[in-house]
Chains A and B, each alone.
Chain A
């Protein structure tokens, strides 16, 4: 990204600015602000140079610009074929998953180029309209690995189209595609083993508990309404380093002697954002994916295009009330059943082989001779 020339230019600009600042120690406030503005200008100029250099680097890539549906890739000559086949795999999925919103991808080309330091991998990313490459990663140069990597990049790019409220609630990317049996199984395990009070009431069929667990109902005091005593102690323990420093007496009273008032005091001293969500982000992702899958055509457009709370956005995407959506999601998750992990084929076969070996050795024994 930063080549040597650009780095030198930025450093020179910074050094000049700092020098100018140093000679003006006795300046008045107006002079100080003028010089600060000057420093800002130099800084922005340096950043502009870097951006132009990156952009130039992208557009200087040899090879073709490849199109497939709404997708675009810029590749060096060595990876044109790989980029083309990967886009061909992704394009149909993009059209069905993102609807009209997929048009945004025409301004966000994938970039793939040879990694000069390690030829076993390629460098890929997504360029923005300024030509700056984001979400850079090193990927194995095969279609499967690249499809997986670019799929994740697509999720990240498209999530950025959603509202800040939805992104803050989700704390992860918006997943697409139909959830598999394995996805549901994973969801069920996470739901059943989540240890907040509301997640447990959700497991037992309380729909309000499910909505609270998904943070789709307003909760005034999350530490006290979403968690029971054990959960609250877990939160205090998780933030023990800071809480012990801020109020050692209350911390000891709570954690050592179980004084309720001390625990309450510590919990109330914590900002609301520090209280963990009752369910992991992966389950909120699962709910969003389910809403998109049952919402039919245009679900993603409605999700990112609706103004309001995450609940209203989910309702728009799924075209049903949030309580129905969550109820259906819960039923789907709890319906799955995984195979037992108690015994696997490898262990069974190994046991038979070892038993056979010892039996064979005993047959060869010459104890009575």
Chain B
């Protein structure tokens, strides 16, 4: 007698079906970024007198690549987790003999499990780059730390967009409204000749620890002193 798969596993499999294209592409990008950054850093170091400085500077410049990859993967997986529910007006979910919060939790954790794939791809790429002969002997590689940062960044991006996607249109409207209000306030204050930098202050709060997007800012350095 065959055993029926658990509900979570069914959700995982359906989410995998919906997102495997995104996951495959995201994993390829995550695997590639460390290797490409190493290649460009080695090239920059060859052309510079202060090789270590040039190497680290170029590796540091790739921070945005890691941050964007993490944010993009988190965003797309979160939106994909809800896209069919939204399209079918939640009929499937309503037909299940399960509480709403339990269903959401299963969707959330299934998405989290899928995020392990690009994270592992990044770890593999980072480890390969770390053991390359192109890394100057005086510098050190931190593939695990970089992977951890990537994992946390993906987790935050995924959670934010999962939360927004799961909410009502009104809630999404509130979020957009707050962002619009900040921009309008800045425009009005600037037009009035005020030196108050609203966007700057909000950015400081959001991007500095323990801000919600703090994990995206700062150093994403695979190779460092």
Contacts and interface: CB of A to CB of B under 8 A. Distances in A.
Interface of A: 188-189, 192-195, 197, 200, 203-204, 228-231, 334, 337-338, 340-344, 346-359, 361-369
Best-buried of A343, A349, A350 by chain B (most CB within 10 Å): A343
Contact of B51 (A200, A347, A351): A200
Contact of A351 (B53, B105, B145, B215): B215
Which A-B residue pairs are the 8 nearest by beta carbons? A350-B210, A340-B142, A358-B163, A340-B145, A368-B90, A355-B159, A362-B166, A358-B159
Given A347-B215, A367-B168, A368-B93, A358 B160 contact: yes
A334 B137 CA distance: 10
A334 B48 CA distance: 21
Given A343-B145, A366-B100, 11 more contacts: A188-B225, A189-B225, A193-B52, A200-B50, A340-B146, A342-B220, A355-B158, A359-B105, A363-B105, A365-B168, A368-B90
Interface residues of B, number: 49
Contacts of B51: 200
A356 B105 CA distance: 11
A194 B225 CA distance: 12
A365 B49 contact: no
B166 A367 contact: yes
Contact of A359 (B48, B148, B162): B162
Contacts of B163: 358-359, 361-362, 365
Best-buried of A195, A204, A337, A368 by chain B (most CB within 10 Å): A368
A367 B167 contact: yes
B39 interface: no
A351 B153 contact: yes
A359 B108 CA distance: 7
B171 interface: yes
Nearest to A364: B101
Nearest to B139: A192
23 contacts: A192-B52, A193-B52, A195-B50, A203-B52, A230-B49, A231-B49, A340-B145, A342-B146, A342-B148, A343-B145, A343-B152, A346-B209, A347-B152, A347-B214, A348-B215, A349-B210, A351-B152, A354-B160, A357-B159, A359-B162, A364-B101, A365-B100, A368-B94
A367 to B, nearest CB: 5
A357 B51 CA distance: 44
B156 A351 contact: yes
Contacts of A334: 138
Interface in B164-222: 166-168, 171, 209-212, 214-215, 218-222
Best-buried of A337, A357, A365, A367 by chain B (most CB within 10 Å): A367
A130 B149 CA distance: 60
B155 interface: yes
A340 B224 contact: yes
Contact of B214 (A338, A341, A350): A350
Contacts of A363: 101, 104-105, 108
Contacts of A359: 105, 108, 159, 162-163
Contacts of A341: 219, 221, 224
Interface in B58-104: 90, 93-94, 100-101, 104
B140 interface: yes
Q: Is the interface of A mostly helix, strand, loop or mixed?
A: helix
Best-buried of B156, B212, B218, B225 by chain A (most CB within 10 Å): B225
A367 B221 CA distance: 40
Contacts of B218: 347
Given A342-B145, A355-B156, A365-B167, A347 B209 contact: yes
Given A230-B49, A368-B93, A353 B210 contact: yes
A226 to B, nearest CB: 12
Contacts of B93: 368
Given A193-B225, A195-B50, A361 B167 contact: yes
Contacts of A200: 49-52
Nearest to B171: A365
B209 to A, nearest CB: 5
A327 to B, nearest CB: 15
B53 A193 contact: yes
Nearest to A355: B159
